[in-house]
Amino acid sequence: MNRRKKQKTLLEKALMGSAVVLSAYVVKTGVDTAYEKLTGSTAPRNPKEPEVSWRRALLWSATTGALLGVAKAAMRPKIDSGVKKLLSD
């Protein structure tokens, strides 16, 4: 593999990874905001806080993880095609 092709592959991987992380951040922020609007309280992140039970924190973590997994699976093909289109010669 020549040097240019290696650089392009590395750039493609970096862009895809960055786009996936950014989309996960956007989804997580949206989920947290929706929770706060629906319940009137912040999302239960830390079970060590007095007002957060372990059950609530675990349930929230599982729900958030599932939603992020679905979002990542749904976004990945779009991200892949967008990055490939961006880097096409």
Domain-embedded: residue 14 = no
Ramachandran class of 46: left when φ > 0, alpha when ψ lies in -120 to 50, beta otherwise: beta
Domain-embedded: residue 75 = yes
| Per-chain mean pLDDT for the chain | 87
CA distances from 24 to 9, 36, 38 (A): 23, 18, 21
Domain-embedded: residue 76 = yes
Domain-embedded: residue 2 = no
pLDDT tens, residue by residue, 37-68: 998 988 887 778 888 888 888 888 899 999 98
- Residue whose C-alpha is closest to residue 45's, from 27, 30, 64: 64
Domain-embedded: residue 87 = yes
The confidence band for 33, taking pLDDT boundaries of 50, 70 and 90, is very high
DSSP letter at 40 equals S
